[in-house]
């Protein structure tokens, strides 16, 4: 359900941005607005980015093979990182360049009514896309932690990329509107170029945040705290009161995709426990863990004594 929700949000954003980009380019050519041209490039970049996200979602669904035994789930992380780079280099870079050019060589806006009309329609469409994205985002468990923290905790870049892009788009449209009003009503022609520069800075900030978060996912982020605590509780239920496990040496997790978690657990069984008991317990743990956390698709339980277990320098607790 969550994966399908992410794809639907991307498709909605792609459709909205494609129409908005076309309208903005026509308006920019008609009115000589640098801010509108920056917004047009922004929408075109967003459209291309959403295409990249759809491509990444499709690639991530490929089944595991001999060369990639854990599947291709991390492909969505790679393509999301490319999205952040495109947003920074094309979106932010071109907007700032166009803004500087307009500031150095200001000229009055033409057919301002067209600008206002396109900005109004664009705000409505971007607002619709934003509402859909935020609604899907709020349905995720991490949304309980506040907006910024929820973005940091999210393991689904295809969704939080759309939320950030829509937020940046609405912010950029507001800046473009302010710049247009100042240039049109105040007679300060450089305001249009200054607005374009600010739009570029907004895009650069969003791209920097996205690249930082996605890089962490590519390197390998642990599952949420809720999942980690739940895993430890399930394994600990086999300790004491006749349970065959003596202690938990270590439990480690890593996201291989937005809804694909790898879990490795090292446990120390009591001396004298039979091999059949070990098999029964590990089988029971696997069933319980996968029933409670369906996102755990790869689970490995290793039987090790406390003495032979040598944890790495950093251990998850």
Q: Where are the domains of the chain?
A: 2-219, 225-303
Give me the numbers of helices (H) and strands (E) for the chain, helices first please.
10, 3
Q: For the segment 239-249, what is each residue's pLDDT rounded down to a tens digit?
A: 987 789 999 99
CATH node for 225-303: 3.30.70.1350
Q: How confident is the model at residue 273 (pLDDT cuts 50, 70, 90)?
A: confident
Q: For the segment 6-61, what is each residue's pLDDT rounded down to a tens digit?
A: 778 888 888 888 888 888 888 888 888 888 888 888 888 888 888 888 898 899 98
Between CA 96 and CA 101, with CA 100 as vertex, the angle to 5 degrees is: 120
Q: Do 259 and 317 contact (CB within 8 A), yes or no?
A: no
Residues 6+ apart with CB under 8 A from 281: 238, 244, 245, 269
Q: Which of 116, 203, 165 is nearest to 9 (CA)?
A: 165
Q: How far is CA 219 from the centre of its chain?
A: 15
The two beta strands, 260-269 and 245-257, are: antiparallel
pLDDT score for 294: 92
Q: Which residue has the higher pLDDT, 316 or 269?
A: 269
Q: Which fold has domain 2-219?
A: Alpha-lytic protease prodomain-like (1.20.1510)
Question: What's the rounded Cα separation, in Å, for the pair 92 and 204?
Answer: 5
Q: Do 265 and 297 contact (CB within 8 A), yes or no?
A: no
Q: For the segment 96-155, what is each residue's pLDDT rounded down to a tens digit?
A: 998 899 899 888 888 888 889 988 988 888 888 888 888 877 777 766 777 777 777 788
Q: Which of 50, 25, 6 is nearest to 122 (CA)?
A: 25
**Half-sphere CA count of 44, side-chain side, radius 13 A:** 16
* Overall residue count recorded for the chain in this entry: 317
pLDDT score for 285: 93
């Amino acid at each position: 359900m969550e994966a399908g929700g992410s794809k639907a949000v991307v498709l909605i954003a792609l459709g909205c941005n494609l129409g908005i980009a076309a309208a903005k380019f026509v308006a920019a050519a008609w009115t000589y607005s640098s801010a509108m041209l920056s917004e047009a490039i922004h929408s075109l970049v967003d459209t291309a980015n959403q295409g990249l996200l759809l491509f990444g979602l499709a690639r991530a669904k490929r089944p595991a093979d001999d060369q990639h035994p854990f599947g291709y789930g991390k492909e969505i992380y790679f393509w999301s990182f490319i999205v952040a780079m495109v947003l920074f280099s094309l979106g932010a870079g071109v907007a700032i360049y166009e803004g500087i050019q307009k500031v150095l060589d200001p000229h009055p806006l033409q057919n301002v009514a067209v600008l206002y009309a396109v900005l109004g329609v664009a705000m409505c469409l971007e607002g619709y896309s934003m509402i859909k994205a935020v609604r899907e985002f709020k349905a995720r468990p991490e949304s309980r932690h506040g907006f910024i923290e929820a973005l940091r905790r999210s393991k689904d870049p295809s969704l939080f990329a759309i939320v950030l892009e829509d937020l940046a788009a609405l912010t950029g449209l507001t800046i473009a509107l302010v710049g247009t009003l100042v240039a049109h009503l105040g007679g300060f022609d450089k305001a249009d170029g200054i607005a374009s520069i600010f739009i570029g800075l907004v895009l650069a900030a969003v791209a920097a945040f996205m690249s930082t978060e996605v890089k962490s996912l590519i390197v390998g982020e642990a599952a949420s705290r809720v999942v980690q605590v739940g895993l430890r509780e399930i394994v600990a239920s086999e300790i004491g009161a006749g349970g065959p496990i003596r202690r938990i040496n270590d439990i480690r997790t890593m996201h291989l995709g937005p809804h694909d978690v790898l879990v490795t657990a090292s446990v120390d069984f009591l001396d004298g426990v039979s091999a059949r008991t070990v098999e029964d317990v590990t089988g029971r743990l696997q069933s319980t863990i996968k029933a409670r956390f369906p996102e755990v698709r790869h689970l490995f339980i290793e039987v090790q004594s406390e003495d032979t277990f040598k944890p790495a320098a950093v251990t998850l607790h």
